[in-house]
């Protein structure tokens, strides 16, 4: 049985602007990461940090991950130029935050022209890639038209979607809207189920209307529900792509982040995102903790349960502006939940 030695502490970066559009954008993103590391190293009271979480689509891959094994994905990621910047960043932070992880969203041009842009959430330690969560819960919009986002059936039963944290806890990785799929835990998840119109396995691609598709989809979703229940993560992490501006993330906060926390025993649930027009000031934390189970049945009346950051700092480099925030559950609530008296 896992028994964390202390409460989890996560840092998130929200970036003003849009997601990366090509590998050319990675250069400035690396510079931004280097400035983040410089700032974090100066803030001694921020440590220890268990993970630094970057937004969805923060980096652009030169090759898509595709429907393959974690070992193959690890090999593909190792060839990306930005990976050395990530491992260097973690090396610079290890003395103050031993074992710190970096979690980031990535995007890639798919090899199949019938596919939509690939999305994934990746986790790194100093050795390289340690976790990968290719998107497996498309939105209705991503399943419409002539192009589809096609999940890989093996991803629904992949243990690499979970990573250990230095505090002794376990984090589940989510590529943006995947968090809504995890928030469905214990319910029928009809909206997420109906948006999955194509699936791929090692034998090829099968679409809605083909023989065996519904059985394959239902089996995959059941496998994910069983895996999440067995893993019982303490932390849920989401690399979110973009909101137009602060204040327009309310739906995500209530029905994605707060609902996911409620569905998983009040787990600390954290997101990092791009904001196209401007950065948040006091709100739009994209964080929740200890959300009570009753919120699962609250529907449109569900509350946000926004968790305020412990610390924050503005980051600016090469014309890029970002907001760096540190989150941790309130100590009295975390100790009570984990049976700690001191």
Q: Is beta strand 170-175 parallel, antiparallel or unpaired with respect to 235-243?
A: parallel
Tell me the pairing of strands 162-164 and 204-207. Answer: unpaired
pLDDT score at 264? 96
The region of weakest confidence among 56-65, 86-95, 184-193, 290-299 is 184-193
- Span 43-72, average pLDDT: 97
pLDDT tens per residue, range 84-100: 999 999 999 999 999 99
Average the pLDDT over 148-168 and give the result: 96
pLDDT tens readout for residues 106-124:
999 998 888 899 999 999 9
Decide if pLDDT at 177 tops 90.
yes
Percent of the chain with pLDDT strictly greater than 70: 99
pLDDT at residue 342 in the model: 58
Region 243-249 average pLDDT: 96
């Amino acid at each position: 049985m896992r028994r964390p030695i202390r409460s989890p502490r996560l840092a998130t970066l929200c970036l003003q602007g849009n997601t990366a559009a090509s590998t050319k954008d990675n250069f400035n993103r690396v510079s931004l990461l280097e400035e983040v590391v410089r700032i974090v190293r100066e803030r001694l009271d921020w440590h220890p940090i268990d993970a630094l979480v970057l937004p969805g689509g923060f980096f652009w891959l030169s090759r898509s991950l595709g429907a393959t094994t974690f070992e193959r994905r690890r090999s593909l990621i190792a060839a990306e130029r930005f990976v050395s910047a990530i491992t260097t960043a973690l090396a610079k932070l290890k003395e103050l935050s031993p074992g710190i992880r970096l979690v980031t969203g990535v995007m890639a041009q798919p090899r199949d022209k019938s596919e939509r842009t690939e999305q994934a959430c990746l986790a790194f330690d100093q050795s390289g890639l340690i976790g990968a969560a290719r998107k497996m819960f498309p939105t209705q919009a991503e399943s419409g038209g002539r192009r589809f986002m096609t999940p890989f059936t093996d991803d629904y039963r992949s243990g690499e979607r979970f990573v250990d944290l230095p505090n002794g806890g376990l984090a589940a990785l989510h590529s943006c809207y995947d968090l809504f799929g995890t928030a469905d835990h214990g319910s029928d998840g009809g909206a997420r189920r109906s948006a999955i119109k194509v699936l791929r396995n090692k034998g090829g691609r099968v679409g809605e209307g083909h023989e065996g598709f519904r059985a394959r989809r239902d089996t995959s979703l059941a496998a994910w529900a069983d895996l999440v229940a067995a893993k019982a993560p303490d932390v849920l992490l989401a690399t979110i792509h973009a909101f137009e501006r602060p204040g327009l993330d309310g739906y995500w906060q209530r029905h994605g982040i707060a609902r996911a926390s409620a569905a998983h025993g009040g787990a600390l649930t954290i997101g990092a995102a791009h904001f196209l027009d401007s950065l948040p000031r006091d709100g739009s934390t994209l964080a929740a903790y200890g959300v009570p189970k009753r919120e699962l049945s609250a529907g449109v009346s569900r509350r946000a349960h926004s968790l305020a950051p412990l610390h924050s700092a503005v980051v600016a480099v090469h014309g890029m502006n970002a907001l760096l925030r540190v989150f941790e559950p309130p100590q009295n609530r975390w100790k009570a939940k984990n049976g700690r008296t001191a």
